[in-house]
Amino acid sequence: MRLLITGMAGFIGSHLTERLLARGHEVTGLDNFDPFYARSVKEANLRALGRERLVEGDILDVGEGRPGGGALDRILGAARYDVVVHLAALAGVGPSLAAPARYMRVNVEGSVLVAEAMLRHGVSRLVFASSSSVYGANTKVPFDEDDRVDDPVSPYAASKRAGELALKAAVTTTGISATALRFFTVYGPRQRPDMAIHKFIRAIDRGEPVILRGDGATSRDYTYVDDIINGTVAAIERDTPGFRAYNLGGCHATRLDDLVARIGAAVGKTPKIEVVSEMRGDVQHTLASVARAHAELGYDPQVGLDEGLRRFVAWYRSSPQS
C-alpha cells in the first residue's frame, strides 16, 4: 500500500511510519514543523525514518495560482496513493483556550482541505486522528462510540468533533470512506514534551516539583503508543466503507495522584508535589470502551501502565532530546 501521513514527524506519526515501513508499505510524510514545540524534537523523530521521505509543507497551503498547487496536491499528484492518514493538527486543551480560531482553522478547515485534495487525486480512503476529548462533559463511563458527543468543554475538543462531522459530511456527499480513531491519552517514547507524563518524568528526575492540577482525583485512560499504533495499522489495513469511529484506549482509568506515584516509582525518586487550581477545559474522567475496535479491528491493548512507564523512563534517560 502507498500512504500519505500528515504530521509524520510528530510523536504518533513517527511511530506509525516506522511500523508501516516494517510491514512493507510505502510511506510519504507531510509536516510543517509547527513551532508549538522545538523543531529539533521532530527532527530527532525522523532520523530512523529517512528524512527524504518527508515533504515540509502545510495542509492549509492550497497553492493558489502556483503550478502544481499546494503541498497536498504536489504529493498526491506525484503518485497513486491508497490511503491518507491525517494526523496533523494543533493539539492540547490548554493552548486551544488562547487560540480557538486558529485551532478551528487548522483542525477543521485543514481536515476539509485534506479531503478535497484526496478527491482531486482519486484517493478514496482516509484515516483520521480524533480524540477522546470529543466526549466532553459526558459523565457516563466507559465512553462508547454511540454516546452523545455534543457537549465539548474546550476549543480543542470542539475542533476534533467538528473535524469528524466535516469528514462524515464528505463521506455522504463524495463517496470517500473515513475512519475516525478516538485516541485516549497516548504516552510513550517521543511523547510531546508538553504532555503530562513527559513533564512529570522530567520534573521528578530533576528533583523539581510536579505541578498537580486540582486534588488529584481526576482520572485518564492512559494508552501506550504501541497499542495505539496496533489499532491504527489495523484501521489502515482494513477497508471500512462509509464513516466509522473507533475508541482506541487502554481500558483502565488511573487517578492523577496515583499516576504521579507510579511515575515516581518508575523513575526511582519520590515526587515533590505542588498543587494548583484545575484548568478550564479539562474533563474529570476518561475511560474507553473498545468493544467495537476489538470486534472489528482486533484491537487488544497489551501494555499496562507500569510497564509503559518503565519503557518511557528508559527512553527518556537515553534520549538527548529529553
Looking at residue 195, its amino acid is: M
Bridge partners for 108 per DSSP: none
Q: Measured between alpha carbons, how far is 260 from 275 in angstroms, rounded to an integer?
A: 12
Which residue, 159, 175, 155, 63, is CA-closest to 115? 175
User: Which DSSP state fits 249?
Assistant: -
What cell does 259 get? 499516576
CA geometry: angle at 194 spanning 190 and 199, to 5°? 85
In this structure, are residues 37 and 95 in contact, taking their beta carbons and an 8 Å threshold?
no
Q: Measured between alpha carbons, how far is 228 from 150 in angstroms, rounded to an integer?
A: 25
Looking at residue 108, its amino acid is: V
Question: By three-state DSSP, how is residue 131 classified?
Answer: strand
Q: Measured between alpha carbons, how far is 2 from 84 in angstroms, rounded to an integer?
A: 9
In this structure, are residues 162 and 107 in contact, taking their beta carbons and an 8 Å threshold?
yes
The CA radius of gyration of the chain, in Å to the nearest whole number, is: 19
CA geometry: angle at 245 spanning 249 and 57, to 5°? 90
Bridge partners for 182 per DSSP: 130, 247
Cβ atoms within 10 Å, residue 174 = 14
How many Cα atoms within 13 Å fall on the side-chain side of residue 80? 1
Residues tagged active-site = 156
Question: By three-state DSSP, how is residue 226 classified?
Answer: helix
